[in-house]
Structure 1
Amino acid sequence: MNKKLLLTIIAALTMTFAKAGSKQDSVSAFRGKNMVKLNLTALPLNTYSGIYERAIGKKIAVGIGYRHMPKGKLPMLSRIESLIDDEETNAHLRNLKMGSYSITPEIKFYFGKDVFRGFYIAPFGRYSVYSLDWPYEYEYEENGATKKENILLKGDVKTMTGGLLFGAQWKLSKRIYLDWFIIGPNAGSVDGTITGTGDLSDPDKRQALDDAIQDLADSDIPFVKIEGETSSTGAKIKFSGPWAGLRGGINLGFRF
């Protein structure tokens, strides 16, 4: 799905639920306390995101969200490359394959007629795991010639964040709702390690990989602190430091 088509869909949906919100309900009242939702705008990014929400008060609900992205190239890679002014680092990122999942508990405070209606504020936490496969390429000198070598680095990087989501929800029919995540900034920490095995008994080859990892650590990748080390049998890269994210999107909900 291209960007123009996605924007057209979002605009059409926005007009639909704006009109729905301006009219008096024409459907009978339904008091189901449960709702499941699918994030529509995550689908073009090869990500599947859903939420289960349950009303616990007149205008309060609790929810748990799950997001899964199958392993593939970095989403929005061109945007990431535009933030990093280093062609060598960008070349490494193009080789990176990543999959992830997130669990997001939240509590929502609605300001509409009742629960599941109108503007809301939702404090939330998020635990995410990113699984990386990184064929890391580096160059070394052998007998006066420059050669290229790859080492496959694999592992998990985990983040824990907390934030505040601002959104609004509209009732489209007796059981169908539309939920707009307007903005949900969150911040926390990241920690993880990826490792790879290979023959690094050659001092020149090992030193070349050491230098390549140090160049990566010195690059301007946002937020993350990178540290690496090598041995005669492989390499290890550690990720740590602060982390930040942003929630957003349009969700289609079913109340029951």
Structure 2
Amino acid sequence: MKKVFLVMSLVAALSIAKAQDGGSNAIKINPLSLFLATGNVAYEKATAANQSFQLGVFYSGVKLSSLKYTGFGITPEYRFYLAGHKEVMDGVYLAPFLRYQNFKIKDTDTKEKVTFSSFGGGALLGWEKSWSSGFVLDLFIGPAYNSGTVKAESGSNEEHFDISGGIDGFGLRTGLSLGFRF
């Protein structure tokens, strides 16, 4: 009974918030990232009539035999809505972004571990559509640059690698997100 009351209270609070602020928040997921065993969630908040701030986070984890892969990242971005309705969460936008990523592959049998971490940024061109039902569709693409390091550990030995080609340097960030505006 407590859970039912809690859920009903949450729905009521979200409904009131939507009525009061005209839907200045959105929670979104990237369903395509599930094919890569990754959960990707973003929260977008309006900061002006045609600008918003979005914070995205992801976590990934897979274990195959003795290999265990984990990763996480955080991506803040600021969006400027320029065309279409020229309002938050409804139209074409430009968005500069930053991104931090950290990935680990560990062999549980040999205790060898490889860690990759990177920091970078870029700019997106996107299109976001909000419907009166609250449903949100967000499509984006843009150039990105990452600067990263790879560190391998084998027992007490540690090695650093010079990396390039896809994970260190220029790349492309693209995606599709689905969510709800409230």
* Alignment equivalent of 1:187, drawn from 131, 136, 145: 145
* Alignment equivalent of 1:63, drawn from 36, 41, 54: 54
Q: State the match for 2:177 in structure 1.
A: 251
Aligned partner letter, 1:171: S
CA contact (8 A) 1:170 1:179 kept: yes
| Identity among equivalent pairs (%) | 33
In structure 1, stretches of 5+ residues that fail to align are 1-27, 74-94, 136-149, 198-233
CA distance in 1, matches of 2:158, 2:110: 11
TM-score normalised per structure 1: 0.55
CA distance in 2, matches of 1:42, 1:180: 14
Distance apart, 1:250 and its partner CA: 1.5
Q: State the match for 1:98 in structure 2.
A: 69
The answer as to 2:123 corresponding to 1:164 is yes
Distance apart, 1:31 and its partner CA: 1.6
CA distance in 2, matches of 1:166, 1:134: 39
Q: State the match for 2:6 in structure 1.
A: none
Distance apart, 1:191 and its partner CA: 1.7
Distance apart, 1:97 and its partner CA: 4.3
Distance apart, 1:184 and its partner CA: 2.6
CA distance in 2, matches of 1:103, 1:240: 23
TM-score normalised per structure 2: 0.76
CA contact (8 A) 1:132 1:194 kept: no
Structure with bigger helix share is 1
CA distance in 1, matches of 2:78, 2:180: 18
CA distance in 2, matches of 1:237, 1:96: 19
| Count of residues in Structure 1 that have an aligned counterpart in Structure 2 | 157
String of CA shifts for 1:75-107, please: whole Å, max 9, x gaps. Answer: xxxxxxxxxxxxxxxxxxxx8642210100000
* Alignment equivalent of 2:41, drawn from 22, 42, 50: 50
Structure with bigger strand share is 2
SS of structure 1 residue aligned to 2:34: helix
CA distance in 2, matches of 1:240, 1:71: 26
* Alignment equivalent of 2:159, drawn from 233, 237, 246: 237
Q: State the match for 1:9 in structure 2.
A: none
RMSD: 2.5
Distance apart, 1:239 and its partner CA: 3.0
CA contact (8 A) 1:104 1:124 kept: yes
CA contact (8 A) 2:37 2:62 kept: no
In structure 2, stretches of 5+ residues that fail to align are 1-18
CA contact (8 A) 1:39 1:249 kept: yes
CA contact (8 A) 1:157 1:239 kept: no
CA contact (8 A) 1:40 1:249 kept: no
CA contact (8 A) 2:94 2:126 kept: yes
Of stretches 168-177 and 57-66 in structure 1, the one that deviates more from structure 2 is 168-177
CA distance in 2, matches of 1:134, 1:105: 32
Distance apart, 1:64 and its partner CA: 0.6
SS of structure 2 residue aligned to 1:194: strand
Larger radius of gyration between Structure 1 and Structure 2: 1
